[in-house]
Amino acid sequence: MKAHTRETQATMTPQKSLQFLKEGNLRFQNNLKANRNYLEQVNDTSEGQFPFATILSCIDSRVSAELIFDQGLGDVFSVRIAGNFINEDILGSMEFASKIAGTKLLVVLGHTSCGAIKGACDDAKLGNLTNMLGKIKPAVEAVEEPADKSLRNSKNLEFVDSVAEKNVLMAIENIRKQSPVLKEMEDNNEIDIVGAMYDINTGEVVFFE
């Protein structure tokens, strides 16, 4: 499989880009990777890159976007931060990826049993981690159930995963609120902004549609 070129990128739509990721995740789940010559892709992309999607995901070592979507060199921009939340620098990166580099799809990808989410649920304190987890706390507070405070912690994996999903939805909301550039592109159908959750037990990505 060849790396994307300016011409192939131009044929991609937001919908087609999403379908590419879905098909890639199915290959990943079934251990049927596309045939790629990575050294050839290194050469093909040496003078330019033409990715079709931008994926914001957690730094979790099990959630490499290129692997779980079975994509090659030059196919996707991968933005990673613990807890996959939005900040000014990430928004700037997304604006570059979409407006300048031409990606057609923005994905905010959360995952089950997320350590950053667990830390926010437990109100963990540790150096710079404290402020970082504070950016996830609004998602913790937005999940209403269970009301029993003794169940609102990292030991309750159902609660953790509910917070992770809410965190994805709030990240998408923040993209639209804080980036007029990306909001306008979405309104003009130049890009789609979608959320998804990766199951660390099965390898499946479920998109919020």
pTM of the predicted protein model: 0.93
The domains of the chain, with CATH numbers, are: 6-117+179-208 (3.40.1050.10)
C-alpha 73/C-alpha 136 separation (Å) is 31
How confident is the model over 81-98, as a mean pLDDT?
97
**Residue 126, token pair as written in the block:** 């540790």
**Residue 56, token pair as written in the block:** 């914001």
Q: Is the dihedral of CA 140, 142, 177, 207 positive or negative?
A: positive
Smallest Cα–Cα separation from 106: which of 177, 176, 9, 202? 176
Angle at which helices 180-187 and 88-95 pack, to 10 degrees? Answer: 40
The neighbour count for residue 43, using CB atoms within 10 Å, is 12
C-alpha 145/C-alpha 143 separation (Å) is 6
Q: What is the pLDDT of residues 29-55, one digit of tens each?
A: 999 988 887 788 888 787 778 899 999
65, 76 contact by CB (below 8 A): yes
| Residue 114 known to bind ligand | yes
For 2, which DSSP code? P
C-alpha 209/C-alpha 196 separation (Å) is 9
pLDDT of residue 168: 98
Measured torsion, CA atoms of residues 102, 178, 186, 84, in degrees rounded to the nearest 10: 70
Q: What is the pLDDT of residues 152-203, one digit of tens each?
A: 999 999 999 999 999 999 999 999 999 999 999 999 999 999 999 999 999 9
The type of residue at 29 is Q
34, 72 contact by CB (below 8 A): yes
28, 80 contact by CB (below 8 A): no
C-alpha 101/C-alpha 174 separation (Å) is 22
pLDDT of residue 72: 87
**Residue 86, token pair as written in the block:** 């939005």
| Residue 58 known to bind ligand | yes
Q: Is the dihedral of CA 169, 170, 176, 181 positive or negative?
A: negative
